[in-house]
Amino acid sequence: MKKELLIGTALVSTLGAASVAHAGVDATMSGNHQTGLEFDSPNAGQDSRAQVNDNNFTVSLEQTTDEGITITSSFMLVNEASNGGGNGDGDAGFTLAFTGGSKLDVLNAGNASGTHDISIPGSAGAEGVTITTSNKAPTGLDFATGSTVYGVEFHTAEDFLTDGLTMSFSISTDDNKANTSTYTNTGHVAFGGTYVTDIGESNEVTLGFGYSAVEGATTGTAPNSEEGGMHMGVSIVNGDLTIAVGFADGDDIASTTASTPAVEVDGEVVKAGVKYILDEDFTLNLGITSGEGQDGAFGTAGTTEDSYDKTSASISYAVADGVTAILGYSDVDSSDEGANDTTDGSAWYIGANMSF
């Protein structure tokens, strides 16, 4: 109940107490259209090819109050037929930027731990390699950062406590759904930080870290380990060269839909990547991902390991301002419950992205 009161107070006090400087909200538009061909070569079965599209159109809204508080929000225009039958875009919320440099996200605020995970270079293409659906090995640094849309996240101003450090703190409450065989997230707390420092004229080091703790349950069954964990990473930029590596360890609750019983996963993942800008037109990316996890039925610790190892690379060419041609490649080797996954393999992608 305390979390609900805190969230409600934050929304009312920040949005309702300040007067608006001028009528009308400033709106800007941005987005991209990416399309290309993907060629899959699984280790078992027939090769396949398909067109892959990724289209986004975002409207960003901004207004400033007489007190100098900037209120922002945004929404996406989506294809309702491919968005859960018209359930709508779930990214909308409010962000309030204060004059001192701090910010507050209200509604769909996210998880402060996941906010600060380091970006690891990898293929810029849209190629994907299918693996067995029961393979629960983690593949991202934020795999244990669950939260609900009913939350707030506070971001400090720059140089918090020390030069170069920014931090975030977040909480969210449950969605009041019935506690059934489907796992229900009843709340979370998290914190994370990013530290940036210069080590030369064109060299910059970025450190990212985070911790998250989530509570949840199903009817009559508690998880063996609650969802949550930690991550850390470092990115080094030396002129046109970027090198990054990250590590995450924690517990995840997967397969939470009603048609699939909840599964808990104890996993860890290591990611590393390199990005090199050859000149103004060409960019090379190379990335690796290695994840391991033991999954078991909800309330039972897993004993047999799932694994996921991916190598990806791409070359991007700036054809014109806002138009980029992409050639990407990915190779995945995975195993499920200790047995080799025959559905893994490799994939190519060739396409282009237009952004505005």
CATH number, position 150: 2.40.160.10
Q: Identify the pLDDT of residue 148.
A: 81
Q: Which range of residues forms the domain containing residue 269? A: 2-355
Q: Write the pLDDT tens digit of every residue in 280-313.
A: 899 999 999 999 999 887 777 778 889 999 999 9
Residue numbers of the chain with a pLDDT score lower than 50: 1-22, 80-88
**What is residue 4's DSSP assignment?**
H
Q: Identify the pLDDT of residue 129.
A: 87
Q: Identify the pLDDT of residue 97.
A: 94
**Total of domains in the chain:** 1
Q: What is the DSSP string of 28-80?
A: EEEEEEEEEEEEEEESSS--EEEEEEEEEEEEEEEEEBTTS-EEEEEEE---G
Q: Identify the pLDDT of residue 261.
A: 65
Q: Identify the pLDDT of residue 175.
A: 64
Q: Identify the pLDDT of residue 12.
A: 41
Q: What percent of the chain has pLDDT over 90?
A: 51
For the chain, what is the radius of gyration of the CA atoms?
A: 22
Q: Identify the pLDDT of residue 224.
A: 76
Q: Identify the pLDDT of residue 23.
A: 55
Q: Identify the pLDDT of residue 337.
A: 87
118 vs 48: CA distance, rounded Å: 33
Please give the angle made by the CA atoms of 48, 345 and 308, to the nearest 5 degrees.
135
Q: Identify the pLDDT of residue 80.
A: 43
- Least Cα distance to 332 among 42, 30, 44 occurs for 42
Q: Identify the pLDDT of residue 108.
A: 80
pTM: 0.81
Q: How far apart are the first and last CA of the chain?
A: 43
69 vs 316: CA distance, rounded Å: 39
